[in-house]
Structure 1
Amino acid sequence: MRKVKSGSAGAVLMAVLMLAGCAPDGDADGADDKTGFAEDATVGVLLPEEEDGDIGQARDTGELFAEALEGAGFTADVQFQNPSPKADERGQIEDMIDSGAKVLIIADVHIGRSVDVLNDARDDGVIIIAYERLNPWGTIADYGVAVDHFEVGESQAKALLEGLAEKYPEQSTYTVELFSGVPSDDDDTTMFEGAMSILQPKIDDGTLVVVSGEVSRKETDTESWRENSITRMDALLQGPYQSVSLDGVLVPNDLHAQAVIESVSAHGREVPVVVGQGSAPDAVSSIVSGVQYATTYTDERDLVDMAITMVEQLQGGEKVTVVPSRPETEQFIDFPTNLLAPVLATHENAAEVYADDPDLAPLTQP
């Protein structure tokens, strides 16, 4: 079978899975009794329509899955979940199963509505792969594929420290503020924990000074992304930072990053070292221009590639190859999971990082 080509800047890595459910030789034992099925078997993929209105990303991922599965010889059944509270993802899953799907790849934040259907499907030999969001699944899935959000947070924190040292070489201490994203988003929580594993020791030893005193997940939660990020940043600049310089800001994604930069600029203040996540086009342009300091990048093509490789191994009756993850990430995983490591993008390496991305590469050109 032909394997879908990996499209990222070559630095994307598979970190992977908790040791429980993993054989000593790095092979997962999760669904061995279900492996081995027809080369042209149906593989169902259920992706969410993005609730923030950015349905284009989900559609692009769907196209990647359809192309990759068909290129590997499988029959692809790609569907999109309506974000409405009354969405019938349960019915969509049942339709995929009734059509003979041997594997279901599901990115679903409302999986609780379909637990019984999925458990029945597993009992009947259908293999369940959780895609991207792992926390809602518990032990329902057989395997998982996701971005290593803990490492994303670590990468952000390291970039913040590097940026501060680079921008303020004469200083030994720096003022910073933290934004941790949406309280209900488990990925945001995982990223924040990853970042704080690096930053908290620096706060404790006085290298970093959070002037507002807001350092906990609850204190730094920022709902509704852009609008509330601007509001919170405005309040910080008009309050604790009215007569104090702000050196750096850590945010959970690039929409927050651009909101912080907008607020700071509107107040006539120098833009601090801002580290985002996600490689949004506006952020990439800002990094290339030397305004936003850094962001992280994970190529969706590599995430899809990891899922297809898993399906191919299962189809061939092989064990799914995994590499034990670090203890820091094991706590977030309940089943064998391949994790995609992020790549850090700054002004210095943006052209290299995005060289193979058809949408972002042009933004790095002069």
Structure 2
Amino acid sequence: MKKIFALCLASVMLMGTLAGCSSSSDSSSTTTEAATTTTTAAATTEETLLVGVAMPTKDLQRWVQDGENMQAELEAAGYTVDLQYAANDIPTQVSQIQNMIANGAGALVIASIDGSALGTVMAEAEEAGIPVIAYDRLIMDSAAVTYYATFDNWDVGVKQGEYLVEALGLATATEPVNMEFITGDPGDNNINFFFDGAISVLQEYIDSGIIQTPSGQTEKTAVATANWATDEAQSRFETILSSYYSDGTQLDAVLASNDSTALGVANALAANYTGTYPIITGQDCDIANVPNLVSGLQAMSVFKDTRDLAAATVDMVTAIMEGSEPPVNDTATYDNGTGIIPSYLCEPIACDLNNIEEVLIDSGYYTADQVGLN
């Protein structure tokens, strides 16, 4: 009996030990599962709050400002921001966007280097279900583009054209004026809106012969500037001046689509032109050009407040993240080859000496010292 009792007691103790082991194992498994669930939830939240922002270059001031404004606005709204600049190199921008997709971005904001060169990576974004906001430059031929945030780019050109008509007195002119043209990178779809908007105002004067172009360079392909580069613009205009104006022919005006090209024109004039200084247009109110606006070396620039565009884009991102409809105010203008892209257009403002203080200083965009008015 004693042996039987001892065997039973040993069996009970062994069962208890096994039960204890089983309980410990279950508890450990449950804890691990809970930890995994928590980690997964945290990762999902982090991914959902990540916004990828792809900018083309730091070479132009406006893109630096756009990127900084965008990052500040998005971070203030609670998002993690992956802001990348691609040094105007398309493969670099593609790689940057691919990394944003791989890192689980909940939305992409892309200012493309070439709006027609992102087809493959846009397909990857679409496959991953990531909404894409084309920023300022429309991405072409891709159904992955969900929305477009930009300024009214046609109106930019219209404002430049209207300024030239008034400044040159074209409405009542009886004698011809000499005007040259320069626009931006042929891979930037915006040049079509800038240039065509201006020509829509100037065309009647071109047709009547009031506007003449001694160089004969009037088509967009002939007046384009790779990467909107100042040195490229300067080189082209040095050739134009030496070829068509060295005999004393008066250059009355230059329709320059933006400030970096306008700066190139001004540099070429400073080195190669002795006639009456022409009227030069521009766009962006870059800090490098503002002294020229103040001194009269550049007549006007179209101001595009990137703070407004950043704020509008953040509103669109927030709506996308929350599953609601982003704010848009144009559903008719911008067709990227796959259909009309719903867009939010900010308003540009013509800026010259008459309103430079109000537009650039009173708004807090620049200080008086930066503008050179102190």
Q: TM-score, normalised by structure 1?
A: 0.76
Q: CA–CA distance in 1 between the matches of 2:49 and 2:79?
A: 6
| 1:119 maps onto 2:119 in alignment | no
How far apart are residue 162 of structure 1 and its match? 1.9
Matched residue type, 1:194: G
**Is 2:279–2:298's contact at 8 Å kept on the other side of the alignment?**
yes
- SS of residue paired to 1:344: strand
Describe the shift of the 1:107–1:180 C-alpha distance in structure 2 as closer, same or farther (beyond 3 A).
closer
Identity of aligned residues (%): 27
Higher helix share: 2
How far apart are residue 172 of structure 1 and its match? 5.0
Which residue among 351, 354, 366 is the counterpart of 2:360?
354
**Is 1:180–1:189's contact at 8 Å kept on the other side of the alignment?**
no
Describe the shift of the 1:364–1:357 C-alpha distance in structure 2 as closer, same or farther (beyond 3 A).
farther
Q: CA–CA distance in 1 between the matches of 2:153 and 2:194?
A: 5
Equivalent position of 2:343 in the other structure: 337
**Is 1:138–1:334's contact at 8 Å kept on the other side of the alignment?**
no
Higher RCO, Cα 8 Å, sep 6+: 1
| 1:247 maps onto 2:278 in alignment | no
Which residue among 297, 308, 314 is the counterpart of 1:291?
297
Aligned residues: 321
Q: CA–CA distance in 2 between the matches of 1:95 and 1:259?
A: 36
Which residue among 277, 281, 297 is the counterpart of 1:275?
281
How far apart are residue 258 of structure 1 and its match? 2.4
Describe the shift of the 1:217–1:226 C-alpha distance in structure 2 as closer, same or farther (beyond 3 A).
same
Describe the shift of the 1:361–1:73 C-alpha distance in structure 2 as closer, same or farther (beyond 3 A).
same
Describe the shift of the 1:157–1:77 C-alpha distance in structure 2 as closer, same or farther (beyond 3 A).
same
Deviations 1:153-181 (A, max 9, x none): 11111112222129x99865422111233
How far apart are residue 360 of structure 1 and its match? 5.7
Which residue among 23, 45, 48 is the counterpart of 2:52?
45
Unaligned residue ranges in structure 1 (runs of 5+): 1-36
Describe the shift of the 1:215–1:304 C-alpha distance in structure 2 as closer, same or farther (beyond 3 A).
same
Bigger mean CA offset, 231-240 vs 275-284: 231-240
Q: CA–CA distance in 2 between the matches of 1:338 and 1:56?
A: 23
Describe the shift of the 1:78–1:231 C-alpha distance in structure 2 as closer, same or farther (beyond 3 A).
closer
| 1:187 maps onto 2:194 in alignment | no
Describe the shift of the 1:269–1:299 C-alpha distance in structure 2 as closer, same or farther (beyond 3 A).
same
Q: CA–CA distance in 2 between the matches of 1:221 and 1:55?
A: 17
TM-align CA RMSD: 3.1
Which residue among 337, 354, 373 is the counterpart of 1:365?
373
Q: CA–CA distance in 1 between the matches of 2:158 and 2:296?
A: 22
| 1:227 maps onto 2:234 in alignment | no
Q: CA–CA distance in 2 between the matches of 1:78 and 1:282?
A: 24
Matched residue type, 1:319: E
Equivalent position of 1:28 in the other structure: none
**Is 1:289–1:347's contact at 8 Å kept on the other side of the alignment?**
no
Q: CA–CA distance in 1 between the matches of 2:131 and 2:240?
A: 49
Matched residue type, 1:118: A
Describe the shift of the 1:87–1:282 C-alpha distance in structure 2 as closer, same or farther (beyond 3 A).
closer
Structure index of larger Rg: 2
How far apart are residue 272 of structure 1 and its match? 0.6
How far apart are residue 320 of structure 1 and its match? 2.3
Describe the shift of the 1:346–1:85 C-alpha distance in structure 2 as closer, same or farther (beyond 3 A).
closer
